[in-house]
Amino acid sequence: NPEFHGNPNFASCLLPDHLISMAELDLLTQNVVCAHSETCQFLQENLQVIRWETFSQSEVHGFQQKPMDHMWERCVCHITNAIQQIVEFAKRLNGFMELNPNDQIVLLKAGAMELLLLRMSRAFNCYNNTIFFEGKYAPLDLFQSLGCNDLISAMFDLCHSLCAVNLSEYEMAFYSAMILLDPTQPWLQEKEKVQSLHVKLDVAFRNLLRRTHRESILGKLPQRGRLLSICQVHMEKLKVFRQMYPGMAWERFPPLYRELFVSEQEDP
Ligand SMILES: O=C(C1CCS(=O)(=O)CC1)N1CC[C@](c2ccc(OCc3ccccc3)cc2)(S(=O)(=O)c2ccc(F)cc2)C1
């Protein structure tokens, strides 16, 4: 519509059915950034301050001596706490609570682990290849008793790639929201509602990148398939673990973790 073009109050991207004003873009940006910063267990600056506090060799050895089921139970507990925060992030995103409940679950089941992988990179020290775990920074081999070395090293590699992009909290917030509100997820009942939210996030994110001269990061973000493949390896390792410790998932794993990652069928 010619009367809109050149009018500074309207975003440059005028998709016919998604007319978005600059005021709406600003409100959406505030909403996404606040939802993220209010739901990260650890503030970026706090993680940075302690990032040189690494576990000693004897502490690492102590973790390596723990039985597999013991380490799994601790990690599953930390994942569950982190995912509770991610659920809270979703609930605070404008429009998420207005989606139908089935679609809210579909999006969280599909995206929660991907968002956890993104958040982990905030707790990664790429200079000495250590990651925040239970209060200090841990090297890769601290986790060897989990029996998932390929999974953990894939996570470390992903954290390295994300550190290279050096995402700001603003960028991390938008990247997370757009992964979560993915209209291409199968089984969505109201795909167009998710699509509408995703388009607005895309316009607001590009607007932010343009204003901050950070458009170049779009080509440097890890491919979605990379996040998905790590999530798949997590599911495979969980299946193997459950074969080794039948019944444990039902007795000692938190309900939220079971709901998201343990399919209903009985123990293999
Ligand atoms: O990062 C967080 C928190 C959320 C983001 S934050 O606030 O910035 C910091 C705290 N994490 C919370 C959970 C954590 C986690 C993440 C992924 C994960 O997947 C692999 C897996 C899955 C199941 C069993 C074994 C291995 C396991 C745990 S963790 O335990 O700290 C952990 C970390 C590193 C590692 F190498 C192994 C475990 C990462």
Tens digit of each residue's pLDDT (9 = 90 or more) over 84-110: 999 999 999 999 999 999 999 999 999
Q: How far apart are CA 268 and CA 252, in angstroms?
A: 16
Tens digit of each residue's pLDDT (9 = 90 or more) over 164-197: 999 999 999 999 999 999 999 999 999 999 999 9
Ligand 1 pocket member 116 (CB < 6 A): yes
Pocket test for ligand 1, best of 71, 133, 240 (most atoms within 8 A of CB): 133
Predicted confidence band of residue 8 (pLDDT cuts 50, 70, 90): low
Q: How far apart are CA 90 and CA 163, in angstroms?
A: 24
Which residues are within 8 A (CB) of 98 and not within 5 positions of it... i.e. 6 or more apart? 193
- What are the distances in angstroms from CA 43 to CA 27, 38, 119, 144? 23, 9, 11, 28
Pocket test for ligand 1, best of 49, 55, 79 (most atoms within 8 A of CB): 79
Tens digit of each residue's pLDDT (9 = 90 or more) over 31-75: 999 999 999 989 888 998 999 999 999 999 999 999 999 999 999
Give start and end residues of each alpha helix (H) in the chain: 22-37, 44-49, 57-64, 68-92, 101-120, 149-165, 169-180, 191-211, 224-244, 248-252, 255-261
255 by Cβ neighbours in 10 Å (0-12 / 13-18 / 19+) ranks as exposed
pTM of the predicted structure, to 2 decimals: 0.92
CA of 80 to the centre of ligand 1 (A): 9
The amino acid at 37: S
Ligand 1 pocket member 133 (CB < 6 A): yes
Residue nearest to atom 15 of ligand 1 (CA): 79
Q: Quick one: pLDDT at residue 3?
A: 47
* Closest CA relative to residue 35, chosen from 98, 114, 96, 105: 96
Ligand 1 pocket member 82 (CB < 6 A): yes
Question: Which ipTM did the prediction report?
Answer: 0.95
Give me the percent of the chain exceeding a pLDDT of 70. Answer: 91
Ligand 1 pocket member 75 (CB < 6 A): yes
CA of 79 to the centre of ligand 1 (A): 6
Ligand 1 pocket member 123 (CB < 6 A): yes
Torsion 191-193-195-197 (CA) sign: negative
Ligand 1 pocket member 172 (CB < 6 A): no
